[in-house]
Structure 1
Amino acid sequence: MTEPTAPAGVPTCYRHPDRETYISCQRCGKSICPDCMRDAAVGFQCPDCVAEGAKSTRSGRAAYGGRRSGDPTLTSKVLIGINAAVWLLVVATGGAGSRLYDVLALLPAGRCVPSGSSGQYFPGVSEAACVNSATAQWIPGVADGAVWQLLTSAFLHVEIWHIGFNMLALWVLGPQLEAALGRARFLALYLLSALAGSTLVYLLAAPQGSTLGASGAVFGLMGGLLVLAFKVRGNVSQLLMWIGINVAITVVGRGFISWQGHLGGLVGGVLIAAIIVYAPRPRRGAVQAVGLGALTAVLAGLVVARTLALT
């Protein structure tokens, strides 16, 4: 027995030619019968378009490996919260004269300061002579073993304008980068950029001068976003202009701005982002881990070499 067919000229379902229908797929326009209708955001789609859409739906993986961040703003919020909490504690305990300032700020080599006043120091006084004085105290630096200062200094601010500018920049840059890189890789970019900035400070800044602030990490985010923009062939003119303005401010204000931290963070951010986004897809995770590990080892080697020179 032959199956019935629809009258000539009447639209029929593309999967069931014997069924007359006046419903079309909202995506491709093919005629579909009620059995082939699939609910879509607008109207109905055919089974083929639904299957194709499922293939192209964003997966749970970020573009450059790792799990996609469910909330790309979360890590930036946490980092801003940590910086704000440290700032409040420092301000509440004396600002630049706070004991927290002495512990957290990046000080390449230790220095002897008057008791109760870390804003001044006695140049050329050794630790042995300082600790034997009743009117002075020794503030250790990285060369004395306070290696945590290489990272803690990136979470330390005293002036409100300093933390305000850095946190605003973090809020503008951070979510974009976390959305593209995933949470773990974004955090690696931020922390390693901060470490790169601190390392250059340790190498080139005055041994007994204090450095603080998240600017190295923020400049690393700028460098990372620049690499990402080049990777996706985006328009980098505005980003380059923004970086150029910040570099110009750094040069003009180099008497009170740590150009070493800014430069180290920027170069570090470019290298870190390049390792992440240009790692070959087949071995992406392994290449990224080895590359970031090697960069961290180089920074550690520079810190060791500088420590030997200072001691």
Structure 2
Amino acid sequence: MDGAPQDGVPATQQTCYRHPGREANVRCTRCERPVCPECMVSASVGFQCPECVSAGSAGGREPRTRYGGRVVSGTAAVTKSLIAVNLVVYLLAHFLSDKFVIPLQLVGGGYYEGHKVGVAEGPDQWYRLVTAIFTHQSLPHLALNMLSLWWIGPPVEAALGRIRFLALYVLAGLGGSALSFVFMGPGDASLGASGAIFGLLGAIGVLVKRVGGDMRPIATILVLNLVFTFAWAGIDWRAHIGGLVFGAAIAFGMTHGPRERRTQTQVVTCALAVAAIVAMVCIGVADFPAF
């Protein structure tokens, strides 16, 4: 009852439990101990004492994004890291030229320094599916892809969280590489982050649709990019289409699973994507023409 004595001290003359002698006219909403203005911590309802705040932080759940990712301080750390990796690889490619690039680019099958190389040669060459995603030789190619990543990456990363965003980016890039390899012939080669970028385009479309946003700007950007893909000679449309399909499919699985089994659904989605990529590569190896 308001005004009732506590430990022999009238409510109007309470002292802070942490600072004896300081008047305290507010009680912690959790433990009901009196606290002075210095010790008052604003809560969703009323004020709490420092000890209750610490206990609640230790035992409470950390904040999560709508789709289960951790909410962390800082902005777009993974996006910036991916851009940095691409820049470093480009600089190495620029100064070291073909002896650095050829072992990294996506090659279906061919000869290099008298040896057979390429994804068709077996699992020891499948690393090219990954390294090609981070390799550029042309500055305009690098600039276009990195600007696109800078614009599209942060909102997708903020929505999914860092780990889910990175998984989507890499798997979309791998999906683009795998589809590109399926249609490759001897001597064909491909490189660049475009497949992963198209994966982010597909993902942001799914995210906007999921929250009931306006799809017209996304659709316009996507159509323009597809027109550019098929109209410009030398662009690997297979990587673009593969990345787009995988990015959209993975984003759908990450955002539409039941909340109580959200993480499990996302893991299964990524596992199915990996299985599909491996299956495509195996089909490509089996059907690759002799050289």
TM-score by length of 1: 0.73
Deviations 1:2-30 (A, max 9, x none): x9xxxxxxxxxxxxxxx9xxxxxxxxxxx
Specify the alignment match of 1:284 in structure 2.
Answer: 262
With over 3 angstroms needed to count, the CA separation of the structure-2 counterparts of 1:74 and 1:37, relative to structure 1, is same
Deviations 1:159-194 (A, max 9, x none): 100000101111111111111101000001100000
Deviations 1:269-298 (A, max 9, x none): 100100100111011111111121012111
Deviations 1:74-125 (A, max 9, x none): 111111111111100111012xxx112110000011x235xxxxxxxxxxxx
Task: Give the AA of the match of 1:68.
Answer: V
Specify the alignment match of 1:24 in structure 2.
Answer: none
Deviations 1:180-228 (A, max 9, x none): 1010000011000000000110112334211000000000000000000
The 5 Å alignment of 1:1-311 reads: 35=26, 48=45, 60-94=63-97, 98-109=98-109, 111-112=110-111, 137-138=114-115, 140-145=117-122, 146-253=125-232, 255-310=233-288
Structure 1 residue runs of 5 or longer lacking an equivalent are 4-18, 20-33, 39-44, 114-135
2:43 and 2:166 map into 1 onto residues whose CA distance is 42
Instruction: State whether residues 196 and 268 of structure 1, in contact with CA within 8 Å, keep that contact through their aligned partners in structure 2.
Output: yes
Task: Give the AA of the match of 1:174.
Answer: G
Instruction: State whether residues 28 and 47 of structure 2, in contact with CA within 8 Å, keep that contact through their aligned partners in structure 1.
Output: no
Specify the alignment match of 2:56 in structure 1.
Answer: none
Q: Point out the structure with max Rg over C-alpha.
A: 1
Instruction: State whether residues 203 and 247 of structure 2, in contact with CA within 8 Å, keep that contact through their aligned partners in structure 1.
Output: yes
With over 3 angstroms needed to count, the CA separation of the structure-2 counterparts of 1:46 and 1:143, relative to structure 1, is closer
Task: Give the AA of the match of 1:168.
Answer: L
TM-score by length of 2: 0.77
Structure 2 residue runs of 5 or longer lacking an equivalent are 4-11, 13-24, 30-41, 54-60
User: Please, what is the CA RMSD of the aligned residues?
Assistant: 3.0
2:90 and 2:114 map into 1 onto residues whose CA distance is 24
With over 3 angstroms needed to count, the CA separation of the structure-2 counterparts of 1:164 and 1:268, relative to structure 1, is same
For residue 112 of structure 1, give the secondary structure of its aligned residue in structure 2: strand
With over 3 angstroms needed to count, the CA separation of the structure-2 counterparts of 1:92 and 1:46, relative to structure 1, is closer
Instruction: State whether residues 108 and 119 of structure 2, in contact with CA within 8 Å, keep that contact through their aligned partners in structure 1.
Output: yes
1:275 and 1:300 map into 2 onto residues whose CA distance is 19
For residue 235 of structure 1, give the secondary structure of its aligned residue in structure 2: coil
Could you tell which deviates more after superposition, 58-67 or 228-237?
58-67
Instruction: State whether residues 206 and 251 of structure 2, in contact with CA within 8 Å, keep that contact through their aligned partners in structure 1.
Output: yes
With over 3 angstroms needed to count, the CA separation of the structure-2 counterparts of 1:233 and 1:50, relative to structure 1, is farther
Percentage of matched positions with identical amino acids: 34
1:69 and 1:195 map into 2 onto residues whose CA distance is 27
Instruction: State whether residues 168 and 250 of structure 2, in contact with CA within 8 Å, keep that contact through their aligned partners in structure 1.
Output: yes
Q: How many residues align?
A: 250
* CA positional deviation for 1:138: 2.9
1:221 and 1:50 map into 2 onto residues whose CA distance is 43
2:241 and 2:275 map into 1 onto residues whose CA distance is 19
1:46 and 1:184 map into 2 onto residues whose CA distance is 30
With over 3 angstroms needed to count, the CA separation of the structure-2 counterparts of 1:49 and 1:248, relative to structure 1, is farther
With over 3 angstroms needed to count, the CA separation of the structure-2 counterparts of 1:47 and 1:102, relative to structure 1, is closer
Instruction: State whether residues 36 and 47 of structure 1, in contact with CA within 8 Å, keep that contact through their aligned partners in structure 2.
Output: no
* CA positional deviation for 1:49: 6.6
For residue 103 of structure 1, give the secondary structure of its aligned residue in structure 2: coil
1:195 and 1:69 map into 2 onto residues whose CA distance is 27
Could you tell which deviates more after superposition, 187-196 or 168-177?
168-177
* CA positional deviation for 1:139: 5.0
1:46 and 1:137 map into 2 onto residues whose CA distance is 71
